[in-house]
Chains A and B, each alone.
Chain A
């Protein structure tokens, strides 16, 4: 089945630790996105990538980093600089991110990150 796989489902971070959230898609989509979801705030864009080896900051990129070495993979690292990382993180993908603003974004099932 085609889709987006996020892992792990639950993740715990210790003080000063970097953690990486995985996102893999087999939809052959060009664009991938990372969102952070907090109660009552909707989804906020962290980073997005329209093509391999290129990515741009979203609205709340501070304390996060990403890479896009393969079309199907877009991992997100939550660094120790992110002081309030507890949230639900969602990865999405779509075709033709730059020219296809009307294209549907498909979402993974999310990773819930908590601080120990």
Chain B
């Protein structure tokens, strides 16, 4: 079955440090890949997505992610963390012909320390 794994349910970084949130998917078929962010008691907001083309994708708020087919990964990075980045982050995949359903990872809570 197709699945998404986010390594680390909690990640803590200092303000100004590099943010790295890991996402791996399991499928022999190239997926469409998404990162969403969720602030407490709110819905999800899209950070970025990869469908085709350039494998390095830039999103909002300074985040970017790189699709590595050989590693089946789509890790999310940001060079310098801000306090406002503290939230829960979800990696998700969908597949052509799969009715647009999203398969979500378990989520990673990012804590930013002053």
> Taking the complex as formed, is B97 at the interface, i.e. its CB lies under 8 A from any CB of chain A?
yes
> Taking the complex as formed, is A104 at the interface, i.e. its CB lies under 8 A from any CB of chain B?
yes
Chain A: CB-nearest residue to B93? A101
Report the Cα distance A92→B97, complex, angstroms: 19
Q: Summarize B's interface: helix, strand, loop or mixed.
A: loop
Interface string of B91-106 (1 = CB under 8 A from A): 0001111111110111
Query: What number of A residues sit within 8 Å (CB to CB) of B?
Result: 34
Report the Cα distance A44→B104, complex, angstroms: 7
Question: Are A43 and B90 also in contact (CB < 8 A) when A110-B42, A110-B43 are?
Answer: yes
The residues of B that contact A104 with a CB separation of less than 8 Å are 34, 46, 49
The residues of B that contact A40 with a CB separation of less than 8 Å are 9, 106-107
The one of B4, B32, B42, B44 that contacts A101, using a Cβ cutoff of 8 Å = B32
Report the Cα distance A90→B21, complex, angstroms: 23
Cβ-defined contact, A42 with B90, below 8 A: yes
Q: List, sorted by A's number, 9 A–B pairs whose CB atoms are closer than 8 Å.
A: A40-B9, A42-B104, A42-B105, A48-B99, A48-B101, A90-B43, A98-B100, A101-B97, A109-B41
- The list of the 7 closest CB pairs from A to B, nearest first, reads A107-B43, A97-B100, A102-B51, A42-B104, A102-B32, A101-B94, A107-B44
Interface residues of A, Cβ cutoff 8 Å to B: 4, 6, 31, 33, 35, 40-45, 48, 50, 56, 58, 88, 90, 92, 94, 96-98, 100-110, 112
